[in-house]
Amino acid sequence: MSQPQTPTPNAQPPKEDLRVGVFVCHCGLNIAGTVDIKQVTEYAKTIPDVVFVKENRYTCADPGQEEIRKAIKEQKLNRVVIAACSPRMHEPTFRRTVSEAGLNPFLYEMANIREFASWCHPNTPQEATERAKDAVRMAVAKARLMMPLQTIEVPVTNKALVIGGGIAGMNAALDLAEMGFKVYLLENTQSIGGHMAALDKTFPTLDCSICIEGPKMVDCGRHPNIQIFAYSDLVKVDGYIGNFKVKIRKNPRYVIPERCTGCGECRDVCPIEYPNDWDMNLGTRKAISVPFDQAVPLIYAIDKNYCIECFKCTDVCGARQAIDFEQKAEEVDIEVGAIIVSTGFDVYLPYDMPLLGYGKYPNVITSMEFERLILAAGPTGGKVIRQSDGKKPHSVAFIQCVGSRDKNKYPYCSNYCCMYTLKHVVQLKEKYKEDVEVYVFYMDMRTPGKGYEEFYDRARERGANFIRGRVSRIDEDPKTHNLILHSEDANLGQPIEVEAEMVVLATASIPKKGSDEIARILNLSRGADGFFMESHPKLEPMDAPTDGVFYAGACQGLKDIPFSVSQGSGAASRAATVISKPKWKIEPIISIVDETKCRNKTAKCGVCQDKCPYGAIRIEPNKAAQIITASCHGCGTCVAECPQHAITQMHFTDAQIMAQIRSALEDKPEEKILAILCNWCSYAGADLAGTSRFEYPPSVRAIRVMCSGRVDREFILEALRLGAGMVLIGACHLPYDCHYINGNYKMKARTDALKGMLTKLGMSPERFRVEYVSAAEGIHYAEVIKEIDADMKALGKEKIQAETAKLKPVLDNMLKRWKK
């Protein structure tokens, strides 16, 4: 891969007079409502090198941006600091603004005074203002040392991979294929179609599920631009946006796809039946079979766990010779420019809720099983019958929110259970009319969708009994196998008992089994609920934090069919924004090696190569380490690990971060918490604390790094030398949350040793803390800061100052080398 131009490590900031411009944003009242903007602007004017200060109502709006452009030109600014919202929000916007005015976009820095000041300290405006001032000072300190950088361009493979062939994935694949891109559709089961293929009818129109999905499946199978890898697993993904190298393992079907005509003669002669998990194990399939008749691709497969190798199928297949018992798993390498993840969800089976009797009483089933029972093509031919006696039930009770909205299980709402239960009610009532009594036990009936409330009315008109209450226990009559439900009628405020011949549990939908594996392979993060985290919950609901990866469907959050379809199409168009371009620009926030300092030239070193999570560093004997620019993801772990300080991370240099630390601790350091937060989890979590208005003590001063792996030992030592009250490192959760694979582990190894040493030297152990905060844990971040602040107050200024005095000579000595 060609090495794009990057500045050399020795490049010093241009020798010119610094002319820093500071722009302070009101953000309407979002900032100005708490932070005293006047004070901040007046203060900014006093900072050395600041030649221009301006406040705006909305800096991100057109007039605000225009003022920046104007000021850069008129005032000949060569550094820009914008004090506004989180850089995770508007950094790209202002980079564009700055470059439009002719200034290098990497010569601007943001001071976060909204999420990190006004929003999280609403009741302490003066402290919030102090924090904002400090943030501006720290940003200016960093800005002084910034260097112009050139964006790196890489070529783009204009193909896409869709992982998961459910309704969302199929739509994404079809849309991309229609736009003219080659699409690989990866599915780990034997057929595409997903959960929708197993459903009977779809709400609220009651049209047959497979009748509307079947044609889409066939389209996917026949489209010249779509290649389906069914019954295949994702093994490995290397590379980066525009240039992913994907390894796929095709599991052996023991049937040669090209030769199988899908006639099914082998299935007819096969003597072995086994429970069909696609059918929720209600029915059976043969040892050589397809999971369902409409399967795409229509290729039979042998399950060797059940096959007794009688070879009757081989005999009947005859001259077609499609069956190959010796088939092995095959690995395929493909190259794509973008990846769409649409891995879907699983259905929770409430075995661990013994009071409901699932798995114990034969007539307690889940909604998905009910779906298979009422389906005409299902194992019972569309007859709703009880397992205990094979008879039609005369009363059916539906229980909502089994596992969902339950703090002990899955706290979230599963989104579509109310609707499918209403559908089951209507179906039952229309099928058996007055012959069946229906009860629905619910907490709230949630019907927000087009035509959904009307559908609720339709169910009520059919004469179902809706009982508001949570079922606490189900007992079985051992003779009749009827079920007695104990519940409370919340409307009457009385306990009630209902006897039903069948109970249907609307169980929670849960993250797909194997999501953790996909997350690990693709470097995705997952929320507290286990679903994939999007880059921004509102503005980038389809974008993964890894560039070039997009989400579609229920893997990102539970959604019904129309929403999954729209998100599939949305993800397709997002992916097209990448793969339709011949080149993709990569941020130049990468590492570079100072060849003069690298120890590997004289001795065998290679520490950086060992620690690089991406294998982006090449070590050859007696030569300086070499960084493969396009493979470098810019975590900075190597920078912190290098024993010679020979590696520099552009835009996050040691000097810049040190300047920020010193600036943060200029005034009353013993009353401050210095927090170094990783961009993807902790900084985002802290942002969320602000966005969610979780209030925490304003003593914290935060510095952003891309990865906690970047945190050098010296940063901590310097902070303590300057007398910081508390030091906090914020990282992604172990083991898999790190955006850079395992930077958090490397930080942990480094800091564990350091903490031991510092404690021995006489530092109170609570003064240095490592916390793991995910992007979803705003509340956790607030709690952590509260705890640390309380600890700091408990220690007291005097103790901290005394410790600093004691530590200072040792730390001075340790930092001497660095200062050279």
Partner 1 sequence: MPLKTQKRDTAEALTLEWILQTKHYKLALDKNLCVGCQICSLACPKEAIKLEKQPKVQGEKAKKAKVDVDLAKCIFCGICDITCPYGAVKVTLNGDHNLIVVEKESFPELIRDIKIDTRNCPKDCVACVEACPLEQLTISKVTYDGKPVENLDALSPSQRRHVVVNVDIPKDKCPTCRACEYKCPPGVIKMRKTFEGKIAIDQAKCPEGCQDCVDVCPITGTLTVADGKVQVNESTCVYCGACKVVCPVDEALMVKRTKVLHTPVHSGTWNKTLERITSPVDTVKELKAISGKKARDMVSKRFVSEEVIK
Can you give the binding site for partner 1, defined by CB under 8 A?
269-275, 280-284, 305-306, 308-312, 349, 351, 359, 362, 365-366, 369, 373, 379-380, 385, 387, 390
Measured from the CB atom, is 146 or 349 closer to partner 1? 349
- Taking the least distance from each CB to partner 1, the nearer of 359 and 451 is 359
Give one word for 394, left, alpha or beta, with left for phi > 0 and alpha for psi -120 to 50. alpha
DSSP classification of residue 543: B
Separation of alpha carbons 741 and 721, rounded Å: 32
DSSP 66-96: HHHHHHHHHHT-SEEEEEES-HHHHHHHHHH
Smallest separation, CB 193 to partner 1 (Å): 20
Q: How far is the CB of 384 from partner 1 (least distance, A)?
A: 10
Q: In what order do the strands lie in the sheet with 159-163?
A: 226-229, 182-186, 159-163, 338-341, 549-551
CB of 367 to partner 1, least distance (A): 11
Residue 711 · residue 719 · CB < 8 Å = no
Q: How many alpha carbons fall within 13 Å on the CB side of residue 608?
A: 32
204 preceded by cis ω (within 30°)? Answer: yes
* Angle, in degrees to the nearest 10, between helices 713-721 and 797-819: 130
By three-state DSSP, how is residue 315 classified?
helix
Question: What is the closest distance, in whole angstroms, from the C-beta atom of residue 378 to partner 1 in the complex?
Answer: 9
Which of 669, 689, 665 shows the shortest CA–CA distance to 792? 669
Q: Taking the complex as a whole, how short is the minimal distance between the CB of residue 310 and partner 1, in angstroms?
A: 4
Distance of CA 392 to the CA centre of its chain: 45
Which residue blocks in 12-61 are alpha helix, DSSP H? 37-46
* Pairwise CA distance, residues 763 & 661, whole Å: 19
Which C-beta is closer to partner 1: that of 237 or that of 373?
373
Please, which residue, 79 or 286, has the CB nearer to partner 1? 286
The residue behind tokens 């093994």 is 235
Nearer to partner 1 among residue 30 and residue 366 (C-beta): 366
- Three-class DSSP category at 148: coil
Q: What residues does 727 pair with on adjacent strands? A: 674, 768
Q: How far is the CB of 252 from partner 1 (least distance, A)?
A: 18
Point out which residues pair with 109 in neighbouring strands.
81
DSSP 196: G
> CA dihedral defined by 310, 315, 317, 322, rounded to 10 degrees?
60
Q: Which residues contact 655 (CB under 8 A, 6 or more apart)?
A: 145
Between 272 and 521, whose beta carbon lies closer to partner 1?
272
Nearer to partner 1, 352 or 461 (CB): 352
Give the residue with the Cβ less far from partner 1, 351 or 749: 351
Strands 395-402 and 502-507: parallel
- Note the Cα 648 to chain centre separation in Å: 29
The answer for residues whose C-beta is within 8 angstroms of residue 353's C-beta and 6 or more apart is 402, 403, 409
Q: Looking at beta carbons only, is 292 or 683 nearer to partner 1?
A: 292
CB of 374 to partner 1, least distance (A): 12
Q: 483 or 800, CB closer to partner 1?
A: 483
Instruction: Output 311 or 394, the one with its CB closest to partner 1.
Output: 311
Q: Residue 116 has what DSSP assignment?
A: I
**Shortest Cβ distance from residue 365 to partner 1 (Å)?**
7
DSSP 383-452: ----TTTSPPPSEEEEEEEESBT-TTSB-S--SSHHHHHHHHHHHHHHHHGGG-EEEEEES-----STTH
- Cβ proximity to partner 1, 308 vs 805, nearer residue: 308
Q: What are phi and psi of 493, to 5 degrees?
A: 70, 30
Three-class secondary structure of residue 364 per DSSP:
strand
Q: How many CA atoms lie within 13 A of 566 on its CB side?
A: 5
Q: How far is the CB of 790 from partner 1 (least distance, A)?
A: 48
Matching residue, tokens 């070039």 = 548
> Shortest Cβ distance from residue 368 to partner 1 (Å)?
8
Q: How far is the CB of 372 from partner 1 (least distance, A)?
A: 8
Among residues 16 and 326, whose Cβ is nearest to partner 1? 326
Cβ distance to partner 1 smaller for residue 347 or 810: 347
Counted residue by residue, the chain has a size of 820
Nearer to partner 1, 9 or 283 (CB): 283
Would you say 202 or 507 has its CB closer to partner 1? 507
Instruction: Evaluate whether 731 touches 744 at the Cβ level (below 8 Å).
Output: yes
Smallest separation (angstroms) from partner 1 to the CB of 414: 19
The least distance separating partner 1 from the CB of residue 664, rounded to whole angstroms, comes to 56
- DSSP structure class, residue 739: T
Minimal CA–CA distance to 397: which of 502, 473, 484? Answer: 502
Beta strands 483-489; 473-476: pairing state? antiparallel
Q: How many other C-beta atoms can be found within 10 angstroms of the C-beta atom of residue 493?
A: 8
Which CB, 124 or 314, lies closer to partner 1? Answer: 314
Nearer to partner 1, 272 or 413 (CB): 272
Smallest gap, in angstroms, from Cβ of residue 494 to partner 1?
34
The dihedrals phi and psi of 675, each to the nearest 5 degrees, come to -115, 130
**Cα separation values, 40 from 24, 34, 53, 161, 809, Å:** 8, 12, 10, 49, 36
Residues 118 and 695 sit within 8 Å (Cβ to Cβ): no
